[in-house]
């Protein structure tokens, strides 16, 4: 039987966790799951259905009918909502502006955490999972846990570049607002697991961050 190897990569928006997690999964020949894309896909589906996103109870009822599918190839990750490829659509401004309030609803988190745990099991517990509550809630027994951070200016510059913008001030303010929502929500907030390794990517290249995490995992397995 292939040995279990679950790697949890958590951190706030703009910390580089998505690119890092994909790179680590590719290097270690593991599956990859982007849980943030799942919350975005759920938000997209609710927006398409005209759901009132100011009412947690309405959201809780609506999400029960949404079917999500996540592709776990780190080089070609995919995300579908009710059979629709939404990989591009979930990065739109409408989803970005509302995903945190959807993700804060306990019923949404309960449903998606269950799906995330099922994905881990379906992939033989050999997977890199990235998000905001992986090490603390989704996979508290993960073999390795990492929490990525970067200073606000670096995070804003990265996120603005992703969206082809030069307005880092507005981006930094938006990230701060999302951090506040994600860190203070009642259901599995953004938090560093006590046993997670803190990795500050502010002055590191993507390859350096990947090298650091892969090195620690390989050392821990030896």
Write out the DSSP string of the chain: -PPPEEEEEE--TTSSHHHHHHHHHHHHT-EEEEHHHHHHHHHHHHHHTT--TT-HHHHHHHGGG--EEEE--TTS-EEEETTEE-TTGGGSHHHHHHHHHHHTSHHHHHHHHHHHHHHHHHTTTEEEEEESSIIIII-TT-SEEEEEE--HHHHHHHHHHHTT---HHHHHHHHHHHHHHHHH-SSS-S---TTPEEEE-TT--HHHHHHHHHHHHHHHH-
| pLDDT of 175 | 75
Question: Which of 101, 166, 80 is closest to 88 using CA atoms?
Answer: 80
Q: How high is the mean pLDDT of the chain? A: 91
d(C-alpha 163, C-alpha 83), whole Å: 26
pLDDT value at 93 more than 70 = yes
Average pLDDT estimate for 69-91:
97
Asked if pLDDT for residue 100 goes beyond 70, the answer is: yes
Tokens of 189: 């907030």
Q: What is the CATH number of domain 5-216?
A: 3.40.50.300
Band of residue 150 on the pLDDT scale cut at 50, 70, 90: confident
- Domain map (residue ranges) of the chain: 5-216
Q: How many other CB atoms are found less than 10 A from the CB of residue 98?
A: 17
pLDDT in tens, 103-145: 999 999 999 999 999 999 999 999 999 999 999 999 999 999 9
Between the alpha carbon of residue 213 and those of residues 24, 46, 83, the distances in Å are: 7, 36, 34
The pTM score is 0.88
Sheet of 68-71, strands arranged across: 68-71, 78-81, 84-85
What whole-number distance in Å separates Cα of residue 218 and Cα of residue 197? 14
Greatest extent of the chain over all pairs of C-alpha atoms, in Å: 52
Cα distances (Å, whole numbers) of residue 195 to 11, 12, 149, 189: 14, 17, 15, 16
Confidence at residue 13, expressed as pLDDT on a 0 to 100 scale:
80
199 pLDDT above the threshold of 70: yes
Q: What pLDDT, in 10s, does the model give residues 4-24? A: 999 999 998 888 899 999 999
């Amino acid at each position: 039987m292939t040995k279990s190897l679950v790697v949890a990569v958590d951190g706030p928006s703009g910390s580089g966790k998505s690119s890092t997690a994909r790179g680590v999964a590719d290097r270690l020949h593991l599956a990859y799951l982007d849980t943030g894309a799942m919350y975005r896909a759920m938000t997209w589906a609710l927006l398409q259905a005209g759901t009132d996103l100011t009412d947690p109870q309405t959201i809780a009822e609506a999400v029960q009918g949404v079917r999500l599918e996540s592709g776990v190839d780190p080089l070609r990750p995919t995300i579908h909502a009710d059979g629709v490829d939404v990989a591009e659509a979930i990065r739109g401004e409408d989803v970005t502006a509302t995903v945190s309030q959807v993700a804060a609803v306990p019923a949404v988190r309960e449903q998606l955490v269950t799906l995330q745990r099922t994905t881990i099991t379906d992939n033989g517990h050999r997977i890199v999972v990235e998000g905001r509550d992986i090490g603390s809630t989704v996979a508290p027994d993960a073999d390795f846990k990492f929490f990525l951070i970067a200073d606000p200016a670096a995070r804003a510059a990265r996120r603005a570049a992703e969206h082809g913008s030069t307005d880092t001030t507005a981006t930094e303010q938006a990230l701060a607002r999302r951090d506040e929502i994600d860190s203070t929500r009642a259901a599995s907030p953004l938090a560093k697991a006590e046993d997670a390794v803190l990795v500050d990517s502010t002055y590191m290249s993507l390859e350096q961050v990947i090298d650091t995490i892969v090195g620690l995992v390989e050392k821990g397995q030896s």
